[in-house]
A and B are shown apart, each in its own frame.
Chain A
């Protein structure tokens, strides 16, 4: 009997304790974030989407080589002598046309390894995480800002210049070889004359 009373007392006490806890939470603040309306600020250094500031890229290819999953695709064309591509905001001269700079975010594993090698800090993560797509192909982000015609033109120009350079070099080589041969011939002549002179003096 006494035990039953004790048990009942304990039961009621625990029930009221529990109800006290729940009522405190009832009037407490909710932790819910109304997601599409309110968004949590991402912590510093959050890795969510890669972005390339293409104006600062020098086309060094270091990021593509650092990528463990090969999700960065870069194609560069050397700038011809008649154009000056200017400098990056960090002061590095730009020497390449970036005809292709694609990042496949479907492949990306958010390792951040491409960010650190960049000499001009132009590839980095941006706090943007709502970019789901219906088609996987839409996850390939194109960062190159050259028009297709421009790319073709630049390529042709670069090829021409390369050919020109090759020809120039060949010409130079030939000239050099000719000069060398001339010199040698003259030296031989001189040597022959000198030896004649010496012969005369001896006589």
Chain B
């Protein structure tokens, strides 16, 4: 242990750690603006138009400045420590998970060989922080939101893990860098990239299950029950204000990006270019990776402004009686496919 610590340059650690943080912060500013623009266009509006000139591009920055100036309100009867701690813990959980995401062929936060396992384990802490926030707020909406969120995230972790397991089964590695490297090249049908989603029909099913599950895991519509604005005010965020609320928002968007990037790594070849060696290399790799992740994020936003919210019982029904059996059957069939071919 002491040897490892001696070998690591603290400045290098800081730089390494700062890269995903920068990506998250820039992405959050763009994504919040983008989501509002997408919402506006879908509803035949314009969205933010004023701040910063061109199509209100600085709207998120203005919102951030406003949130910084807001009073930090802590309810009298709240459990102070838990209440203050929850948003930071939530962001820490989604930030920590970025350590094993291979942003390009040249950069990965930590080259651990149990990457996927670590990621899924760390994102489980999100559930804990949501319950923490809901319980510590001492508010019925918050508590209901927290409880719903706990039930939802615990349930949907099962199909997520089962579908990720399907990919791991095919790839034979838990290290996301290795999984990505496996998908290099354009051999399928002569032109399709070797992405896992094209390699095996069961992986398409796995991707559908995975996508539905990450929608639920990141509290996106139609599974946004934990914070359903129209019935629970704001769910577990009800009592939060100012920067603490902003931390929740940031963590939520970071979580969305994280799971989308995980999807891009597992099914769409990560940083591999869709044109083989053309436009390859570490920088283009980063570009392709972010493009794939952001496309998934945009689809999630598109779904948000299309669908209404599920009821709690429907949510549980979808998970326990459809997705979980299906994902396990899919896992077994993939295993058979791997044995036969």
Contact = CB atoms under 8 A, between A and B. Distances in A.
B44 interface: yes
Contact of A34 (B38, B40, B46, B303): B46
Contacts of A27: 41
Q: For this complex, into which size category does the number of interface residues on chain B fall?
A: 10 to 19
Nearest to A34: B49
Given A31-B45, A34-B46, A15 B306 contact: yes
A131 interface: no
B113 interface: no
B68 to A, nearest CB: 28
B302 A22 contact: yes
A109 interface: no
Given A34-B46, A34-B49, A21 B38 contact: no
Contact of B38 (A4, A18, A26): A26
Secondary structure type dominating chain A contacts: helix
Interface in B304-322: 305-307, 322
B42 interface: yes
Contact of B306 (A22, A30, A31, A34): A22
A129 to B, nearest CB: 22
A25 interface: yes
A32 interface: yes
A18 B305 CA distance: 10
A111 interface: no
B307 A15 contact: yes
Contacts of B305: 22
A26 B42 CA distance: 4
A202 B46 CA distance: 120
Interface of B: 38, 40-46, 49, 302-303, 305-307, 322
Nearest to A12: B208
A7 B319 CA distance: 15
Smallest CB-CB A-B distances: 5 pairs: A32-B46, A22-B306, A18-B306, A26-B41, A22-B42
B46 A18 contact: no
A4 B302 contact: no
B46 A30 contact: yes
A2 interface: no
A30 B307 contact: no
Contacts of A29: 44
Given A26-B42, A32-B45, A4 B322 contact: yes
Nearest to A4: B322
Given A18-B306, A30-B46, A31-B44, 6 more contacts: A15-B307, A22-B42, A22-B306, A29-B44, A32-B40, A32-B46
Nearest to A23: B302
Contact of A28 (B44, B302, B322): B44
A34 B40 CA distance: 14
B45 A30 contact: yes
Contacts of B306: 15, 18-19, 21-22
A168 B288 CA distance: 104
A81 to B, nearest CB: 63
28 contacts: A4-B322, A8-B322, A15-B303, A15-B306, A15-B307, A18-B306, A18-B307, A19-B306, A21-B306, A22-B302, A25-B41, A25-B42, A25-B43, A25-B44, A26-B38, A26-B41, A26-B42, A27-B41, A29-B44, A30-B40, A30-B44, A30-B45, A31-B45, A32-B40, A32-B44, A32-B46, A34-B46, A34-B49
